[in-house]
Amino acid sequence: MAWLSLLDTAILLGLCFSGVALGLVVSLRFLNYPDLTIEGSLPLGGAVGGLVLVHTGSLWAALAAAALAGGAAGLMTACLHVFLGVGRLLSGILMVAALYTVTLRVLGGSNLSLLRTEGTWRQIEAWDRAWADAQGVMLDPLKLSLLIVLVGAVSLGLVAFFHSRPGLAIRSIGDNEGFVAGLGRDPRPYKFFALALGNALAALSGALIGINQGFADVGMGQGALVLGLAGLILGEQSIGRLLGGRRLVPALIASGVVGSVLYQVLLLLSFRAGVTSSDVKLLTAAMILVVMVATGGGSFFYRGRTF
């Protein structure tokens, strides 16, 4: 039973974090833009989502507000890069610093408690808790179903979008920006849109994480990028390969979601196996490298890519 409960938490956390990996799919894989802003838009999403949840009690309003805030952050990054000519990495670094202050202001302190909120999420948790206590297990079936539906819907939406004309344009800019410009298409609006979308996904993730763990904290973004990347690479080398590799949109989207879950499963298994949490960061870095090298990922996925 313990294993099932561990798997339950891992899937729950993995789905909450999948927005980060999906954000990376959009910016890093499709647009070929190493967008570091995600590390700042995740806690921003947590803060904005949390604040809206506390004041309105509506889960949906909270998620929508978080996505909008993340989107705005992405637009700012795009402004820095496109209009001011700031480099791609630097524009993200600057935005992470700026967003730290914004997040602190939104939270009104370093930490916002989401334990006393009312509404849909609270009811779902209460139902899960009552059910689990009656069964004597530690599982959250309703919360899990809601997340599966939510992440599933977002994923399907992304697959559909990246098969549409604007989606295709974003992917071609990622492949060869000069070519797109040469065809007489202005790549700038697409960059704005893709960066906004990537950060909206990360912010959505931040809101889900905060609501799930019961607090939004200004330190939530720390290490989120590595975590998302670890998930994405794990996914690409497992389900991504199975579904046909990086030329295919559904394979990459599935990589993001399944990889995030897989990463959390491995993380919790390693805790269970007695690995202390202090060693997890080094193990994560080693795991990314091993997976990439062992599967020949260096040439399979990443040729001509930033990372």
* Alpha-carbon distances of 302 from 8, 34, 175, 183, 247, rounded to whole Å: 32, 13, 12, 26, 12
Establish if 103 lies at the interface with other proteins (CB under 8 A).
Answer: no
CB of 70 to other proteins, least distance (A): 17
Minimum separation from the CB atom of position 171 to other proteins (A): 30
CB 256 within 8 A of CB 231: yes
**DSSP 8-state symbol, 216:** E
CB of 39 to other proteins, least distance (A): 12
Tell me the C-alpha distance between 10 and 262, whole Å.
Answer: 8
What is the rounded distance in angstroms from the CA atom of residue 285 to the CA atom of residue 173?
A: 30
Among 18, 155, 237, 264, binds other proteins (CB under 8 A): 264
Element (H, E) at 145: helix 141-161
* Rounded-to-integer distance, Cα 240 and Cα 248, Å: 9
- Which CB atom, from 108 or from 296, has the smaller least distance to other proteins? 108
Closest approach of Cβ 30 to other proteins, in Å?
25
Q: Which two tokens stand for residue 10?
A: 């891992």
Of 128-136, 162-170, 236-244, 291-299, the window that binds other proteins (rule: CB under 8 A) is 128-136
Other C-beta atoms lying within 10 Å of the C-beta of residue 75: 16
**278 is a contact residue toward other proteins (CB under 8 A):** yes
212: amino acid identity, one letter: N
Applying CB under 8 A, the site for other proteins has a residue count of 46
Range in contact with other proteins (rule: CB under 8 A) among 92-100, 108-116, 150-158, 242-250? 108-116
75 binds other proteins (CB under 8 A): no
Single residue of 136, 182, 184, 304 touching other proteins by CB under 8 A: 136
Q: Is 145 in the site for other proteins (CB under 8 A)?
A: no
Question: How far is CA 289 from its chain centroid?
Answer: 21
User: Which member of 55, 60, 97, 105 binds other proteins (CB under 8 A)?
Assistant: 105
Taking the C-alpha atoms of residue 64 and residue 52, their distance in angstroms, rounded to an integer, is 10
From the list 55, 60, 244, 272, which residue makes contact with other proteins (rule: CB under 8 A)?
Answer: 272
Query: Considering beta carbons, is residue 166 or 214 the nearer one to other proteins?
Result: 214
Question: Which is closer to other proteins, CB of 97 or CB of 293?
Answer: 97
What is the token pair recorded at 186? Answer: 């202005």
Query: In the range 55-74, which residues lie near other proteins by CB under 8 A?
Result: none
Contact call for residue 116 and other proteins (CB under 8 A): yes
Tokens of 292: 């990439």
| Phi/psi at 193 (5° precision) | -65, -45
Please, are residues 31 and 263 in contact by the beta-carbon 8 Å criterion? no
Q: Name the segment binding other proteins (CB under 8 A); options: 62-70, 131-139, 155-163, 193-201.
A: 131-139
Selected binder of other proteins within 32, 103, 199, 212 (CB under 8 A): 212
Burial of 183 (0-12, 13-18, 19+ CB in 10 A): exposed
Q: Could you list the residues that contact other proteins (CB under 8 A)? A: 1-2, 5-6, 9-10, 13, 17, 105, 108-111, 113-116, 125, 133-138, 209, 212-215, 217, 219-220, 222-224, 227, 264, 267-268, 271-272, 276-278, 280-281
